[in-house]
Each structure stands twice: as C-alpha cells, then as structure tokens.
Amino acid sequence: MLAADERTAAGEIVITKDLTLPKLLVQQCRKYGSGKVAMREKEYGIWRPVTWQQYLDNVKYISLGLVSLGLEPQDKVIMIGDNRPQALWTEMAAMCAGGVGVWLFQDCLMEEVRYIVDHSDSKFYVAEGQEEVDKALAIKDQCPKLSKIIWDDPKGLRHYDDPMLIGLDEVMKLGREKEAQDPGLFDRLVEKGKGDDVCLLFYTSGTTSLPKGALLTHYNMLTMGQNLMRVDPCTPDDDFVSYLPFAWIGEQMMSISCGLQVGYTINFPEEPETSQHNVREIGPHVMFAPPRLYEQFTRTVQVKYLDATWLKRRVYEICMKIGYHIADLKFDKKPIPALWKLLGSIADACLFSKVRDHLGLSKVRHAYTGGAAMGPDHFRFFHSIGVNLKQIYGQTEIAGISVVHRDGDIKFDTVGTPIPGTEVRLGENDEILSRSPSVFVGYYKMAEETEKTLKDGWLYSGDTGFIDEDGHLVVFDRTKDIMILSDGRKFSPQFLEARLKFSPYLRDALVVGHQRPFTTAILCIDYNTVGKWAEDHGINYTSYTELSQLPQIYDLVEGPLREVNRSLPDSARIRRFANLYKEFDADDDELTRTRKIRRAFVENRYKDIIEALYTDDDMMHMETNITYEDGRVVEIKADIRLQGVRDGGKK
C-alpha cells in the first residue's frame, strides 16, 4: 500500500468541516481587496484586470439575483460556455447561495444537454451566448425542473422573447435590489454553508455508458487542492491560464481548489482559438492539461523541424541528443557531468529556450498532465527541452488527483506517489483503490453505481496497476480494456496508442489484439501535417477521406508503426493497419468530451474494418454515418485500404 504523510505548510489555509469555498472566497477577497488582480480576461486585444474586490462584488450580485429568481439550497445550476470571468462568478455565486454547480462541455450535442439538464434536476441554465441558449430552448420542454435560462452575451438574441430568458446583467440588477432590501443577506447565506455540503455535481466522461453525476463537497475540493499544493507550492504572484473546459475536473482543480487557496491570478484567453497565443503572452507558472495538448505541442515542434532548412535541422538534432541524454541521467537519478551541463546550457541557449517560449512554457515550474495515458516519448521530449512535466493520476470521484510525480523522482512509466492525506492500495485483480478526504460522496440518483464504486471508504477506480520497487504507482490500463495477446501475456492498448501518437503524422490510433492471432491498428492521420507533406511532395487530394487512403500516405504512416514495433515483444507488434477515412470524433460518440476513446463503442462501430484486417484482403468498402454538432447526419462511403507492416513480426 502507498500512503503519504500529511504535512502542514507554513501559512496555508486551515481546512475544517465548517469551511466552504464561498467562505474562503470572502476571506481572500477581504485579504487582497482592490490591491491585487484576481483574474484577467483578454477582450478586444486588451488584457482587462479584475481585482479581488470586483470578483466578490460580481459574485455577490449574481448570487442574490439567483436567490431573487428562486434559487434555494441544493438547487442545481447548469453552466455552459467558454472560460470567462462570468463563468467563474456564476459558479461561485451558485455556491454562495447554497446551490450546486453543474457544468456542460460547450460542444455537447443536444441529446447530451437534455440528458444532463434533466437528470441533474437543474433549475437554472446559465449560457454564454446564442448557441448555448438555442440548445436550452430546444430541450426545455423535456426538462420540467428548468425554470430560467440566463444568457450573458446578447449577440444574436435581440429578437428572442421566450419568458424563460433573462440576461446576466438583469440578474445582477435584481441582486443589487435584493441587497438594498436586505444588506446582510449575502453574508448570512455564505455563513450557512458547511464543508460537507455538496457544491458540485460533476458528470464523468462515460466511456462505456451514460455519464454518471459525481457529488463533490466543499471539503473534497479544498482538501484535494491543499494536498496538491503541499507537493508543489504555488504563490500569490503566480499566473495560471484557464482555457480547458470547466466541465473537466482538472480545470476545477486548478482554478477553484488551488486558485482560491493560493490566490494566484487566473487568466482567461480571448477565444478558444487564440488560447495558445494567449498562453504565450502570459507565460504561466503552473499548467495542467490532458495529454492531447502536450501531443499537439510536440507535433507543432516536429512540423517546424520538418519545414526547417538543413542547417536548422542539424542544430535541432544535435541539441535534442544533448537534451535527451541529460533528461535520461535525471530520470536515472545520476549526476550530470560538468561537460554535459555545459553542453546543456549551450543547447538551451541555441534551441530549448526558444522552443519553450514559442509554446508558452518559458516560466512554467510545474507542468502536469492527466486524464489519460501519455507515452514515454512525449515525457522524454518535454524533459529534454527543460519542461518539468509530471504525470498525475486521479479521477472525478476523488476531486481530481490522488497521485503525482515529485521533483527529482520522475519515472515516465509511472504516475508517481500519493499526495499527502491519500492512501493507495491494490484490490482484487490488481484494481487500484484510493482513500482520502477528497473521495466523493456518491453518484446522483445512482445508488447501485455508488455501491460498486465506494466500499468501506475506498474508491474503486476500475483501473489495473501495480506498485514498482521504488514505491511508484504504475497504471496499466482500464481493467476492461486490457488485451490478452496471442502468447497469453497481458498488454495495454493505451501504451501502444500513446507511442504511435508521438508521430507528427498520427492524431489518433485504436489498437486491437485481444485474444486474436496478432495485433492490428486503425489510424487517424493528422490532416494538417499529412496534408502539408502531401503538398510538398506534389501529391494532389481533395478531402481527408481521399488523402487518408492514398498509397503514399500509407507508406508514410507505416514508418511510425515499424519504429514502435522494434521495441515490442513479438506478440504485441502491429502486423496490419488501416487509415480511417475520418478522425475519431466526440460528436460521433467515438470520444468522450475529454477526448478519451470509447473503446468498446469504436471497436463495435468499425468491427468490419477490424475483421477485414484479420484477412488477406487489401481493400474493403465502408458505408457509415457521421454526426455534426448541430445534429446533422451525413452518410459516408469509402474504400478502405488494408496494409501489412513490413518487418512487423521480426525482431
């Protein structure tokens, strides 16, 4: 069993069962007042600051406005939209009045919106703009508990006259009127809260079934944030950029659980499309993102390398060799000789500092990744360029995190050791179990699922793993996803898929081989990178579908397959593969909203391709439908090539 001692850091918040997130907000706002910036938003090209006093005032008026509209303790408030100050104000406002925040991913399809709004019994729906309002209006008649739809951005809503609609400014006006009538009401509402009160109803990704609503308390969120900060302390002078969906527990972990306790400044990008540019402008000191973002960072650097001149490519190659060697010494906890330190400094000046600056990572002390597996190639890459990337392990049901790497003790095939206050042990069939003050109280309206997941105070993760000789937790895979190869050994498809995605030409991969004669793969090319390669080589194409099936593209992506195969046991080596005619898409239910593959669904959807890969055929015809975000369904017809991997079975 793994456990971490709980240490109290100097000056940290004292968390009791009486403390809530709103009480902490009021404390911090009174501490910092108008003299410190709590958050910034880039609007019309200008970073606009919001002080802690302004933060509290906006939260107060929204909260009292919601009370005027009928919000009562434990009522649910649905929120959907981009990351903006108003989003955070509304979430905190709901909590201040004793309500429960429920977040939706902005790209949720109509049926997903309907299910969560109805299942959560939400009373209020707070939308950013017209697109989100339209979704609410379309499903309102199927959600009897819904009473008000609140919008923030008026663009496109001028002629909307539904009686359920009200603007956020109008809500705040009601709040000011409420305060004038009862000046002490807000403080009394905040004081009523208890640490054991539910503050968030967080719907999990649902990789195999409908999303489950995890009930998290103030105490859950506060203890998790405090224990993470005991491992990697942040300061009030630090900057954090909030651009990942608030519907993902990782963003709540950093913006709410840690942000409120530390008091660092939260920065909101102008638009989702400009987030990477805005990250570079701010230069955050701490960063948390799923593997897909770091994979995209890596792909960006690789593409620039491919487009560079011969001399720049040679400099890159030499510097990367130096960086990789130094990173490997650190991983092995070996001293770095003086000569290599000098070479590292030269490589940093010539390349690495520029790469970090381009990616917006120039000031980052701690960069975290979690939510899915990351391949060792990506880990080595970031450490080679001087980014202190750490793997975390956790889940929504434990308020975000239970295990993390420590500085100087990073092993890229593990997720590290438990944060303070957390115990981890292995159960039956090596299932990973966790116990901490951050474990949730159960699933909303799902008693049977709660009983399966919570037993004797332990959280049953559904993940399989083991504890290595250094006391690090190794997460093998989801128990249901583990493959049994032809020679009887167990193998993780996630590991192979993560390795393949280190190639700049591949965006996604599905590896199949459970109880089959050999391993195969369905690949999704990266359209931009592969398209650029095709243009550079004079290859014409008109669409993703056509590009993906060109023989030259099959030969191109076969390279990464052969490279990965070299390091695998014979039974795990990929023998045959197919390029899919489209990317895996959350709108087609192939990915969760956090971009994890719904493996069982995808394998069933593409079972004809999978079965064809275990024949001698070199071509098959495919007909299927794809779904767009607006609900349109389009039929796709395509001929899929099936190709063997040369040297796929040789050592």
Residue 6 has pLDDT above 70, yes or no: no
Query: pLDDT tens for residues 203-236?
Result: 986 544 578 999 999 999 999 999 999 999 999 9
How much is the pTM? 0.86
The pLDDT of residue 5 is above 60: no
Listed residues 457, 479, 501: the one ending a domain: 479
Give domain status of residue 498, yes or no. yes
**Range of weakest confidence among 11-20, 217-226, 450-459:** 11-20
Average pLDDT score over residue span 234-262? 93
> Are residues 197 and 135 part of one domain?
yes
The pLDDT score that the predictor gives to residue 205 is: 66
Across 499-526, average pLDDT: 92
Q: Is 422 contained in some domain?
A: yes
Q: What is the pLDDT of residue 58?
A: 97
Kindly report the CATH number assigned to the domain that includes residue 158: 3.40.50.12780
* Angle at the Cα of 626 from the Cα atoms of 621 and 630, rounded to 5 degrees: 165
Q: What is the mean pLDDT of residues 556-584?
A: 92
More confident residue, 518 or 631: 518
Position 8 pLDDT exceeds 70: no
Q: Which two tokens stand for residue 19?
A: 């403390």
Asked if residues 85 and 109 have their Cβ atoms less than 8 Å apart, the reply is: no
Beta strands in 555-614 (DSSP E): 574-579
Whose structure tokens read 């089959």?
A: 516
Query: What is the pLDDT, as a whole number, of residue 276?
Result: 84
User: pLDDT per residue over 47-86, tens digit each?
Assistant: 999 999 999 999 999 999 999 999 999 999 999 999 999 9
Structural domains in the chain (count) = 3
> What's the confidence (pLDDT) of residue 635?
74
| Single-letter code of the amino acid located at 367 | A
Tell me the percentage of the chain whose pLDDT exceeds 70.
Answer: 96
366-400 per-position pLDDT tens digit: 899 987 778 888 989 999 999 999 999 999 999 98
Same domain, 517 and 595: yes
Residues 168-187 have pLDDT tens digits of 999 999 999 999 999 999 99
Q: Report which of 84, 378, 462, 115 is spatially closest to residue 251, judged by C-alpha positions.
A: 84
Long-range CB contacts (within 8 A, 24+) of 402-407: 402/434, 402/436, 402/438, 403/2, 403/473, 404/228, 404/231, 404/232, 404/368, 406/231, 407/232
Query: Could you give the CA distance from residue 246 to residue 512 in angstroms, rounded to a whole number?
Result: 33
**Does the residue 8 lie in any domain?**
no
250 and 380 fall within a common domain = no
Given this model, what pLDDT does residue 651 score? 40
- pLDDT at position 375 is 80
Q: Band of the pLDDT at 631, cuts 50, 70, 90?
A: low
Q: Which residues contact 389 (CB under 8 A, 6 or more apart)?
A: 294, 367, 368, 369, 379, 382, 383
Q: Domain range spanning residue 438?
A: 289-362+364-479
Look over the chain and give the mean of its residue pLDDT values, rounded to a whole number: 91
Of 85, 122, 126, 94, give the one whose Cα is nearest residue 20: 94
Q: How confident is the model at residue 151 (pLDDT cuts 50, 70, 90)?
A: very high
Asked if residue 2 belongs to a domain, the reply is: no
